[in-house]
Amino acid sequence: MGSPRCEHPRMSSLAEPTTPTPTDPDRPRYRIEAMTLEDVPEVARVERRSFTNPWPTSAYRRELGNPQQNHYIVLRSAEPSREQEDADSSSARSFGRRTFLPLSFGRRVGEEAAAKASPILGFAGMWNAFDEAHVTTIAVDEPYRGAGLGELLLAALFDEAGRRGANWLTLEVRVSNDPAIALYTKWGFTIQGTRKRYYSDNNEDAHVMWSKAISDPVYRHDLAILRHRLLQRIGGPVEGFPTEQPAHQIVETSGQPPWGSGG
Ligand SMILES: CC(C)(COP(=O)(O)OP(=O)(O)OC[C@H]1O[C@@H](n2cnc3c(N)ncnc32)[C@H](O)[C@@H]1OP(=O)(O)O)[C@@H](O)C(=O)NCCC(=O)NCCS
C-alpha cells in the first residue's frame, strides 16, 4: 500500500500569539549591527568576562577578514547615555560654528559618535558553508543576561543564515553549560553528538547541537512565534532586526539532516 496521500499537517507545538506587539513601537531599545574592527577591543572585554578560555583579539580580526564566509554581529543599547547626548549636541553646535560646516553635518557626526559610544551588551558569530551555518560564538555581558538578549542574538543569526541559504544551524557547547544548552533547545536545537575533550582549557566534552531544517514550514512557524514573543519580552522593535522573519533563500540541499539520522 502506498504511503498515505494526505497526512495530517504536523501541528506547531507553539501556541499562536494573541496579544499584538507592544504599544510603544517607536522606541527601539537595542540595535544589532555588523561587528567592525573598531569594536574588537570592547568585544574582547566582554569575551574575557564571558568565557574561561577567551579568544584572542587576533581571532576576531581574522574572522572579520572573511565576510564572505563569516558573519559577526554586536548588540548595543540604542539609548546613548545622557552624558554622551549632551557631549555630542554641544560638539555638533561647536563643530558647525568653528568650521562653517552645515549644522546637520555636525549633528550627524555627533549621532554616529553617540551610536558607537553606546556599550556593546553582547555579540555573536557564525561561519557559513553550503547549507550549514556553524555558530562560533554567542555571549551577553553578565549584567544584561536573563533579559532575552541571548535569544535576540541567536534569532539574528537565524535570519542571516536564512538569507545566505543555510538550512541548518549547528554548534558545539560545553556539556556543563546549562544556560546555553537551554537557550539552543528553546530554539529547536537538539543534541546530535559529543566531541570528547573538545575544550583545551579543561578537556571538557562538547555537545554537538543541530537546529531543525529552517526550510521546514512548521519550524519556521515556531521560529516566527518565538520571535514575536521575544519582541514582546524586549518591549519593542530592535534596530537592525526585522520584526517579521525575513524570507529564507532556499539553496539546493540533500534534505537529509547533516547528522544523517533523519530524526
Ligand atoms: C548563554 C547566554 C548567551 C544566554 O544569554 P541570556 O541573554 O542570558 O539569555 P536569554 O535571556 O535570552 O535567555 C534565553 C533562554 O536561555 C535559557 N537560559 C538563559 N539563562 C539561563 C540560566 N541562567 N539558566 C537556565 N537557562 C537559562 C532559558 O531557556 C532562557 O529562556 P527563558 O528566559 O524563557 O527561560 C549567556 O548566559 C552567556 O553569555 N553566557 C556566557 C557565554 C556562553 O556560555 N555562551 C555560549 C557558548 S556555547
What residue ranges define each of the domains in the chain, with the CATH number in brackets? 11-78+118-238 (3.40.630.30)
pLDDT on residue 222:
95
pLDDT on residue 1:
39
Q: How far is the CA of 185 from the centre of ligand 1 (A)?
A: 11
By alpha-carbon position, which residue is closest to atom 31 of ligand 1?
A: 183
Q: How far is the CA of 150 from the centre of ligand 1 (A)?
A: 6
Q: With bands split at pLDDT 50, 70 and 90, how would you rate the model's confidence at 85?
A: low
pLDDT on residue 141:
98
pLDDT on residue 245:
82
pLDDT on residue 79:
72
DSSP-assigned letters across all residues of the chain: -PPPSSPPPPPPSSPPP-SPSPS-TT---EEEEE--GGGHHHHHHHHHHH-SSPPPHHHHHHHHT-TTTEEEEEEEESS--HHHHHHHHHHHHHHHHHHT--HHHHHHHHHHHHHHHSPEEEEEEEEEETTEEEEEEEEE-GGGTTSSHHHHHHHHHHHHHHHTT--EEEEEEETT-HHHHHHHHHTT-EEEEEETT--TTT---EEEEE---TT-HHHHHHHHHHHHHHHHHHTS-EETB-SSPPP-------SS-TTSS--
> Judging by beta carbons within 10 Å of its beta carbon (0-12, 13-18, 19+), is residue 46 exposed, middle or buried?
buried
Q: Is the pLDDT of residue 98 over 80?
A: no
| pLDDT tens profile 38-47 | 999 999 999 9
Q: Are 211 and 132 contacting, i.e. CB atoms less than 8 angstroms apart?
A: no
Q: Is the pLDDT of residue 74 over 60?
A: yes
Percent of the chain with pLDDT over 90: 63
Find the mean pLDDT for residues 82-107: 56
Q: Tell which wins on pLDDT, 123 or 236.
A: 123
Q: How far is the CA of 151 from the centre of ligand 1 (A)?
A: 8
| pLDDT tens profile 18-42 | 555 555 555 668 999 999 999 999 9
Q: Are 221 and 9 contacting, i.e. CB atoms less than 8 angstroms apart?
A: no
| pLDDT tens profile 143-185 | 999 999 999 999 999 999 999 999 999 999 999 999 999 999 9
- Cell matching residue 93: 553646535
Residue with cell 549584567: 143
Q: How far is the CA of 101 from the centre of ligand 1 (A)?
A: 47
pLDDT on residue 200:
92
Question: Which residues form ligand 1's pocket by a CB distance below 6 Å?
Answer: 50-51, 138-140, 145-151, 173, 177-180, 182-183, 186
pTM, two decimals, is: 0.84
Atom of ligand 1 nearest to the CA of 140: 39
Residue with cell 542571516: 160
